[in-house]
Amino acid sequence: MELSVLWFILVAVLFAGFFLLEGFDYGVGILLPFLGKNDLKRRLVINTIAPVWDGNEVWMITAGGALFAAFPHVYATLFSGFYMALFLMLLALIVRGVAFEFRSRDDGRMWRRVWDFGITCGSAVPALLWGVAVANLIKGVPINAKMLYAGTFFDLLSPYTLVAGVAFLLVFTFHGALFLTLKLEGEFMLRARQAALVLGVPTAASCLALAGLTYTNTDLFNSTLAGTAFGGAVGAFALAYLFVRNQKCGWAFGMSSLTILLITAAFFAGLFPRLIVSSLNPAWSLTIYNAASTPYTLKIMTIAALTLVPVVLAYQAWTYWVFRKRVSPQDLEY
């Protein structure tokens, strides 16, 4: 296997892991004002992700680092063309991170409500923008023959990309609700399950709309693997909703996780061997061949990845094992 192909797969895996793990973090943050009607409930909701949310973001940092090292032209074009969108995303993530740390610094009601609002907005904005960004990669953006972005921020916004943003937002929120059913007890768990049931219908509608618009606006379904993965994602989501209706929340969370992994796989399979499609001329698209680093660089990176990635995976698995228990009011510090 060519190293450029291997790194395309690795980048896809990193983004899939990020969407899977950070997806329920986003969902929990979005649901915070709806499930946490008082400070005790909000603290419970926050504590379900408190030990892991920052570790989950490492997947995004690693994916960005992999893009920078393996496909520097893609990294440069992406961060210049998507500058405003990525700036808004980074700003939201900063607010969210600060909010997690600052809300407990004061017992004042207004103080905590302000930071809770920061957690919610800092979760919703990135969830929406990730959908917009992923849809633009395969729909196509104005990239010229010099591999430079030749458009504006508003060129990234279209009915298709906005539907993709809403679909990602709802899928992550549904995923977060299912995560909470596994981490909370009693009435708190029941409220989380009810939230998942309420979210199920609009999430399904958004996913079907995304599938239809993807078919009409992109060539993703020209790839048999991508089409199969997209169909599998729809089926997995249907099973997730069926399981949560039958109070099998563990299975439901497993199926929502599979939904996210398959959607990510579908988009990357539809892109291959491209990384960003040019809407000006398909020949100007950035691919794993014209945007890759030198073979020597890819070789060194492969050795480093094979050495360090298993360590990171083992550490994160250990973290989830240590904090596997449900969160109850008795666990909160007063």
Q: With cut-offs at 50, 70 and 90, classify the pLDDT of residue 108.
A: confident
Residues facing 327 on adjacent strands:
184
For residues 87 and 82, give the distance between their C-alpha atoms in angstroms, rounded to a whole number: 8
Residue with tokens 């990510």: 264
Q: What is the pLDDT of residues 168-216, one digit of tens each?
A: 999 999 999 999 999 998 888 999 999 999 999 999 999 999 999 999 9
User: By the 8 A CB rule, do 196 and 226 touch?
Assistant: no
Distance from C-alpha of 30 to C-alpha of 72, rounded to nearest angstrom: 33
Tokens 């550490």, located at residue: 315
Contact status, residue 25 vs residue 53, Cβ threshold 8 Å: yes
State the average pLDDT over residues 239-257: 94
In sequence order, the β-bridge partners of residue 25 are none
Q: Which of the residue ranges 47-56, 139-148, 204-213 has the most confident prediction, judged by mean pLDDT?
A: 204-213
pLDDT for res 334: 47
pLDDT above 80 (res 1): no
Please name the residues in contact with 273: beta carbons below 8 A apart, sequence gap of 6 or more: 5, 8, 287, 288, 289
CA dist 129 and 126 (Å) reads 5
User: Longest C-alpha distance within the chain, in Å?
Assistant: 62
259 CB-near residues (< 8 Å, 6+ apart): 171, 175, 233, 236, 237, 240
How high is the mean pLDDT of the chain? 90
Q: Which of 241, 239, 221 is nearest to 229 (CA)?
A: 221
Every domain of the chain and the residues it spans: 3-326
pLDDT in tens, 6-47: 999 999 999 999 999 999 999 999 999 988 778 888 888 998
User: Percentage of residues in the chain with pLDDT exceeding 70?
Assistant: 99
Least confident stretch, 134-148, 228-242, 255-269: 134-148
Residue carrying structure tokens 């809770």: 116
- Give the pair of three-digit tokens for residue 34: 């709806």
In this structure, CATH architecture of domain 3-326:
Up-down Bundle (1.20)
